[in-house]
Amino acid sequence: MEILLYVSAAIAALSLLLIAIFVITTLKSAKATMNEVSETLTSMQGKLNGITDQANELLANTNRITEDVERKMQSLNSVAKTAEKLDDSTAYMNKSFQSLSEQISNPDPKYKDLMQKANTITGIAASIFFRAKREKAKQANYSSQERYHNPASQNMDLLPYPQKRLPEPGQKN
């Protein structure tokens, strides 16, 4: 029985030796894995720092662009307000021109006679002017061929047609 005791002690010692060998192998493997994990974490930290720097630059660019867009939007708002004011001004000018047009087409009766006289005087002055031009052209002895080749001299014979006559005072339009 004593042999059994020695054999069992030897088996126990051998088992402890095998357990120690397996533990040492496992620890060496774990150490290698921990070194790889450490290297991976260091590499990832470097990459994350690079990404963080790029993200910060992108954020700064985005902020600059946003400020620029806001300034441009404010400029567009002022342009839109100016356009609204221009529309109001245009409407006011149209009303003024309409009012002026109506005053000219329907003058006060006391001015109609004066306007008609001014129209007559203007017509007489134009007639005298064109007649003097025609006489001057005749004195220069233009030949018929020169008159044919110079269209400006042909128009001197024609007086312009008078504009629409105003009704006499007391007449209705």
Q: DSSP per residue over 3-60, as a string? A: HHHHHHHHHHHHHHHHHHHHHHHHHHHHHHHHHHHHHHHHHHHHHHHHHHHHHHHHHH
Q: Give the contacts of 166 (CB within 8 A, at least 6 positions apart).
A: 107, 112, 115, 116, 119
Q: What is the mean pLDDT of residues 140-158?
A: 53
49-70 pLDDT per residue, tens: 999 999 999 999 999 999 999 9
Q: What is the DSSP letter of 163?
A: -
pTM of the model: 0.37
Q: Which residue from 124, 97, 104 is spatially nearest to 166, judged by alpha carbons?
A: 104
Q: Radius of gyration of the chain from Cα atoms?
A: 55
* Stronger pLDDT, 115 or 55, i.e. the higher one: 55
Q: What is the mean pLDDT of residues 18-42?
A: 95
Q: In the predicted model, is pLDDT for residue 1 greater than 90?
A: no
Sorted by where each begins, the domain ranges of the chain are 1-106, 108-173
* Stronger pLDDT, 10 or 152, i.e. the higher one: 10
Q: Give the contacts of 115 (CB within 8 A, at least 6 positions apart).
A: 107, 166
b/e per residue, 130-157, with b = 16+ CB within 10 A?
beeeeeebeeeeeeeeeeeeeeebeebe
Q: Which residue from 91, 111, 104, 109 is spatially nearest to 164, judged by alpha carbons?
A: 104
pLDDT for the residue numbered 81: 84
Q: For the chain, what is the largest distance between any 2 Cα atoms, rounded to a whole number of angstroms?
A: 169
Quick check: helix, strand or coil at residue 173? coil
Please give the mean pLDDT across all residues of the chain. 83
Are 171 and 106 within 8 A, CB to CB?
no
Please state the length of the chain: 173
Question: Rounded to whole angstroms, how far apart are CA atoms 111 and 121?
Answer: 15
